[in-house]
Amino acid sequence: MMQNQIHLWAFLQGIGFFPTGWKHERARPEGVFHMDYYTRVAQLAEQGRFDAIVFGDQLQSRGAGGRAPERLAMPTLDPVTLLTAMAAVTKHIGLVATVSTTYNSPEMLAERFGTMERITGGRSGWNIVTTAHPDTAPNFGETELPPKDARYRNAVEVVARACELWAEMDREGPELPQGRPVLVQAGQSPDGRDFAARTAEAIFCPAATIQAGVDFRTDLRSRVAGVGRSPDGVRIMPGLSCVLGGTEEEARAEHTATLDLADDALAIEYLSESLCCDLTGFDPLGQIPVDEILAKTLLPQGDVARSIVPGAEKGTPLGEFAANFMRHPRGHNVFIGTPEQMADMMIEWRDAGACDGFTLQPSYMPGGLEDFVGQVVPILQARGRLRTDYPGATLRETLGLPAREAVTA
């Protein structure tokens, strides 16, 4: 076993991490509607010896106030479908689908992931989410989301019941190679962290700095130990985006150029979506319409006020505020530099205990993934930090976890 091996997950929802990513000259926005794109990127991630591919998900269409955005990449195709198709064109890579416990019954989840687990030969994973977007409820005949604590209480019961159903499916056969899918979680709040500590075998988190990574991982490992599980049985995988260049200057220029692909209209659509309030009818050169936003948003007013009031008090015009908001990296680590510098950074984080590996969020697709696999992966392998072959057949083996582990929900 290699010392301080770095695990890699590829987060491939949409056309990349940057809202402008689809406009990049090396992006293929039409690709996400064609199988050949998924074959290409799945095989690329497998070539880079990633543990798994992850697709995020939402159960509402993008937009705000009933208006769909025109300048943001959408829609998001169903992750279980995309990942299962990718299993058919790969041999080793794990396939982790984001699916909600609030809007699926345990029976539906068990049947869906049980079938996925069988047909992928034991490479399935479930990123358990409780769904937080207020626009979701009307798609399921409801007026509003259940409160957060109720969603998490329900999630614990749903996961436990699904695990019972998988045990039954496994007994009846054909067997589920891992017993059940690998359980993955991404909650940040205390409720979410406790749920993850009891349930998850891998955890995503944002960590903008190495210290934030150390703090999160230390906290999670102590919560895991606190419920009687081994902290070494959980992989902590902070998000990581990157812009690479032959020199640091080239990488910075490329980063700026990617952000500059945004115009005011794109930035305002992005801000509208983030605030749950349609701002596309407002003058980009005018004031931030604070009262209008607070009256119309479906998000908690306090959270929204905290993000817009300081800008409004400074008199920042709406378009400029939206552009700055869009450039903010949402709490994730965005690395800008050379492939050697990136490998150094990843090794430093791993050795400092800031993570077990990274969830790569390519800045645009498929070019961002091609660059990472072509330029950074060989360096990590040469330094003995990234596997050059897969250790076994199942995702659990790839993660270095016991073949089967029962949930302690």
Q: Is 328 in the site for another protein (CB under 8 A)?
A: no
Q: Is 103 in the site for another protein (CB under 8 A)?
A: yes
DSSP annotation of 93: -
Q: Which is nearer to another protein, 103 or 335 (CB)?
A: 103
Identify which of residues 119 and 257 has a Cβ nearer to another protein in the complex.
119
Under 8 Å between Cβ of 59 and 383: no
Backbone angles phi, psi at 204, to 5 degrees: -95, 150
**Sign of the torsion formed by the C-alpha atoms of 136, 142, 147 and 152:** negative
The number of beta carbons lying within 10 Å of the beta carbon of residue 145 is: 20
Binds another protein (CB under 8 A): choice among 78, 149, 260, 351: 78
Residue pair 114/176 in contact by the 8 Å Cβ criterion: yes
What is the closest distance, in whole angstroms, from the C-beta atom of residue 355 to another protein in the complex? 30
76 forms part of the interface with another protein (CB under 8 A): yes
In whole angstroms, give the CA distance from residue 229 to residue 53. 25
Decide if residue 120 touches another protein (CB under 8 A). yes
61 or 256, CB closer to another protein?
Answer: 61
Report if residue 270 touches another protein, rule: CB under 8 A: no
263: contact with another protein by CB under 8 A: yes
The window from 104-112, 214-222, 246-254, 305-313 that contacts another protein (CB under 8 A) reads 104-112
3-state class (DSSP) for residue 313: helix
CB of 299 to another protein, least distance (A): 18
12 contributes a contact to another protein by CB under 8 A: no
Least distance to another protein, CB of residue 68, Å: 4
* Amino acid type, 87: A
In eight-state DSSP terms, residue 191 is H
97 in Cβ contact with 127 (< 8 Å):
yes
User: Which residues are within 8 A (CB) of 95 and not within 5 positions of it... i.e. 6 or more apart?
Assistant: 52, 53, 83, 84, 86, 87, 116, 120, 123, 124, 125, 395
Size of the site for another protein (CB under 8 A): 63
Containing 167, the helix (H) or strand (E) segment is helix 148-172
User: Cα–Cα–Cα angle for 277, 282, 286, nearest 5°?
Assistant: 120
Task: Count Cα atoms within 13 angstroms, Cβ side, for 311.
Answer: 20
The minimum distance between CB 139 and another protein, in angstroms, equals: 5
Nearer to another protein, 161 or 383 (CB): 161
**Nearest residue (CB) to another protein, 109 versus 343:** 109
With contact defined as beta carbons under 8 Å apart, do 374 and 34 qualify? Answer: no
Asked if 157 interacts with another protein (CB under 8 A), we say no
378-398 per-residue burial string, b: 16 or more CB within 10 A, e: under 16: ebbeeeebbbeebeeebbbbb
Min CB(109)–another protein separation in Å: 10
Residues 6+ apart with CB under 8 A from 244: 251, 254, 337, 338, 339, 342, 371, 372, 375, 376
Nearer to another protein, 113 or 216 (CB): 113
Q: In this chain, which of 58, 98, 199, 338 binds another protein, going by CB under 8 A? A: 58
Asked if 281 is part of the footprint of another protein (rule: CB under 8 A), the reply reads no
Q: Does 364 sit near another protein (CB under 8 A)?
A: no
Three-state DSSP at 388 gives coil
CB 95, CB 120: distance < 8 Å = yes
Q: Is 267 helix (H, G, I), strand (E, B) or coil?
A: helix
Answer yes or no whether residue 82 interacts with another protein by CB under 8 A: yes
- What's CA 272's distance to the chain center, in Å? 21
* Amino acid residing at 8: L
Interface positions, 15-34, toward another protein (CB under 8 A): 22-23, 25, 27-30, 33-34
The answer to whether 249 contacts another protein (rule: CB under 8 A) is: no
Q: Which stretch binds another protein (CB under 8 A): 74-82, 207-215, 365-373, 376-384?
A: 74-82
Closer CB to another protein, 91 or 404, in the complex: 91
Contact status: 296 vs another protein (CB under 8 A)? no
Site for another protein in 159-178 (CB under 8 A): 173-174
When asked if residue 140 is in the footprint of another protein (CB under 8 A), the reply is: yes
Site residues (vs another protein, CB under 8 A): 22-23, 25, 27-30, 33-35, 38-39, 58-63, 66-78, 80-82, 84-85, 87-89, 103-105, 107-108, 111-112, 114-116, 118-121, 138-141, 173-174, 261, 263, 265-266
